[in-house]
Amino acid sequence: MQKGTISKYPKAKKIPLKNRTWPDNEHTCAPIWASVDLRDGNQALAIPMNIEEKLKFFDCLVATGFKEIEVGFPSASDTEYNFIRRLIEEKRIPEDVTIQVLVQAREHLIKKTFESLEGAHSAIIHLYNSTSPLQRKVTFNKSKEEIKAIAVEGTRLVKSLSEQCDIEHIRFEYSPESFSDTEVEYALEVCQAVMDVWKPTKENPIILNLPATVEISTPNVYADQIEWFCTHLENRESAIISLHTHNDRGTGIAATELGLLAGADRVEGTLFGNGERTGNLDIVTVALNLYSQGIDPKLDLSDLASLRKLYEEVTRMQVPERHPYSGDLVFTAFSGSHQDAIKKGMDLRNKQPQDHTLWEVPYLLIDPNDIGRNYEAIIRINSQSGKGGVAYLLNHDYGLDLPKAMHPEVGDAINSVADKASRELSTEEIYHQFKESFVNLEAPLKLLSIDRTFNDADDSLILKAEIEKAGEQYSIQGTGNGPISAFVNALDENGWKDFTLNDYRQHSIGSGSKTEAAAYVQIIGSQGTQVYGCGIDPNIEKAGLKALLSAYNRLHTD
């Protein structure tokens, strides 16, 4: 790599755009979406999809809500040609869906493309040729006039064949490939020449697709290019301006979103960003970004997991764990502070009516339920996790509503186990460890049986208990206003009370005949040590006593 002044790479040229408006614009509606998974995405696969896989993917794209789907480059391969014929002959294309086919501006390729579309009810012919200075110089060694002539002659042939074919409705799309690296004045000149031949109208507009074939600049420069183009294009109302960004700099999504603010109407891309090099635009992410701002994306992404599963099956690609919205870990928090904030947000939301409540949960951009995800994996526990995360999982998965003051104690115990294991703990492991450390503990003090009577004179309760302490059995008795206070007094009578009862809470778990009671007791030892214990039992009084014994046993266990 060069050091200091980098002379190897030219800087992207600025666009002569005065009084740009896109920085102040807002997204107000979804664009026209065009999936190019079956062409652009497919050509980028190590093992391209076979026809059966393509058919399955096409049906999935239709079900997701795409109305324009680029299905192939029929003049380039027999597989793509035969796939398109099956779509048409087996009547697999819904009336409201238009298939799109890609073709270079070459006569024999254009004729082969029309042949593949015989019998289709509607189709978009997508013609392209490269226009950038680098392509003109290195690839074609042609002048500007010669490159423009390729586009014009190709358009003229498409127009002629469109008037002769049996396709019910033909639409035309033109791409000055490498638009982002083409002089904007020249790109406009070529597109204007194409429009002069095609003669689009407001009712039957041309699609002008302006690709960032290679992402060479920051997204704001691309937005400037789009706004400049839209502002200077004659007969703008007769053109649909389409974006096709790549991700060489990792900002393809940002470039698309700014391009839409700059005046574009349509977006080409793929599911999860599959495409050449670093990929095409990820339509799922842009659509859900719009959704997060209160805009209907007009795509059904309510079962994103199934969509991802099919995508991974037919493309043999993997969606990364941290991929926006669809990755395994994007709705997951390991950090203790994140877990605590999420728990508080969820707790508050559960107390409010859901119909019109704004989504206000820290660290979660959207409600995972909206895209078919659930809350089970939101909080994951490792050695970096916090007190709130463990409490959330125990509550969500097992119905245990731990007192807030108990959270640090439980969190420390679970995190210690995760630290020793040097890995993430499952919810089953967390629950098992919680029970081992806090629930119904029986050593060194174990409750064998109880018998209680009431003293009507003062409404007190007399508790007789058989216990086992350090291997020895004892009969003890105490009086109090309830079972717990009576048991504490019984311990005191025998000289075993070296603590103060500080907190007691209880709640039910489950419903119907399977209902159990969970109780939590906190005691403070003579040296100031505070410990909690938990008791779980079908009988609420026994649950309380078991919680007290668990706390006592934890206080007296190293």
| Domain assignments of the chain as residue spans, ordered by start | 31-315, 336-431, 445-555
List phi, psi (to 5°) of 29.
Answer: -155, 165
How far is it, in rounded angstroms, from Cα 300 to Cα 88?
Answer: 25
Residue 102 near residue 128 (C-beta atoms within 8 A): yes
Is the domain spanning 31-315 CATH 3.20.20.70? The answer is yes
Query: Among candidates 267, 200, 262, 190, which has minimal Cα distance to 231?
Result: 262
Residues 6 or more apart whose CB falls under 8 angstroms from that of 43 comprise 73, 276
Residue 500 near residue 472 (C-beta atoms within 8 A): no
For residue 383, what pLDDT band results from cuts at 50, 70 and 90? low
Q: Which CATH architecture has domain 445-555?
A: 2-Layer Sandwich (3.30)
What are the tokens at 495? 């000289």
User: For tokens 């216990």, what's the residue?
Assistant: 467
For residue 259, what pLDDT band results from cuts at 50, 70 and 90? very high
pLDDT at residue 271 is higher than 80: yes
List phi, psi (to 5°) of 523.
Answer: -125, 155
Q: Would you state the pLDDT for residue 342?
A: 83
Exposure string for 70-100, b = 16+ CB within 10 A, e = fewer: bbbbbbbeebbbebbbebbeeeebeeebbbb
Predicted confidence (pLDDT) per residue in 416-453, tens digit:
888 888 887 888 998 999 999 999 999 999 999 999 88
Query: Among candidates 16, 19, 18, 53, which has minimal Cα distance to 37?
Result: 53
Q: Which amino acid is at 327?
A: G
Q: Which CATH architecture has domain 336-431?
A: Orthogonal Bundle (1.10)
pTM: 0.77
Q: Compute CA 503 distance to the chain's CA centroid, rounded to the nearest angstrom.
A: 42
* Section 168-182 average pLDDT: 95
Q: Which amino acid is at 373?
A: R
For residue 155, what pLDDT band results from cuts at 50, 70 and 90? very high
How far is it, in rounded angstroms, from Cα 442 to Cα 437?
Answer: 11
Which residues of 231-355 form beta strands (DSSP E)? 239-245, 266-269
How far is it, in rounded angstroms, from Cα 488 to Cα 153?
Answer: 97
DSSP, collapsed to helix, strand or coil, labels residue 328 as coil
Greatest alpha-carbon span in the chain: 111
**What residues form DSSP beta bridges with 381?**
425
Q: Which amino acid is at 442?
A: E
Query: Among candidates 203, 127, 197, 192, which has minimal Cα distance to 159?
Result: 197
- Please say whether the dihedral angle defined by the alpha carbons of residues 159, 163, 168 and 169, taken in this order, is positive or negative: positive
For residue 385, what pLDDT band results from cuts at 50, 70 and 90? low
Report the DSSP pairing between strands 460-469 and 472-480: antiparallel
For residue 513, what pLDDT band results from cuts at 50, 70 and 90? confident
pLDDT at residue 538 is higher than 70: yes
Residue 102 near residue 70 (C-beta atoms within 8 A): yes
* Section 233-245 average pLDDT: 98
DSSP, collapsed to helix, strand or coil, labels residue 279 as coil
Q: Tell me, what DSSP letter sits at residue 524? A: E
Q: Would you state the pLDDT for residue 72?
A: 96
Residue 119 near residue 77 (C-beta atoms within 8 A): no
How far is it, in rounded angstroms, from Cα 229 to Cα 196?
Answer: 16
Q: Compute CA 83 distance to the chain's CA centroid, rounded to the nearest angstrom.
A: 31
What are the tokens at 15? 């666009």
List phi, psi (to 5°) of 536.
Answer: -130, 125
pLDDT at residue 406 is higher than 70: yes
Exposure string for 301-323, b = 16+ CB within 10 A, e = fewer: beebeebbebbeebbebebeeeb
Q: Which of residues 225 and 345 earns the better pLDDT score?
A: 225
Q: Would you state the pLDDT for residue 470?
A: 87
Virtual torsion, Cα 28, 29, 31, 32, nearest 10 deg: -150
Q: Would you state the pLDDT for residue 115?
A: 96
Which residues of 105-225 form beta strands (DSSP E)? 122-130, 169-177, 206-212
What are the tokens at 41? 């995405």
pLDDT at residue 376 is higher than 60: no
For residue 213, what pLDDT band results from cuts at 50, 70 and 90? very high
Q: How many CB atoms lie within 10 A of CB 328?
A: 15
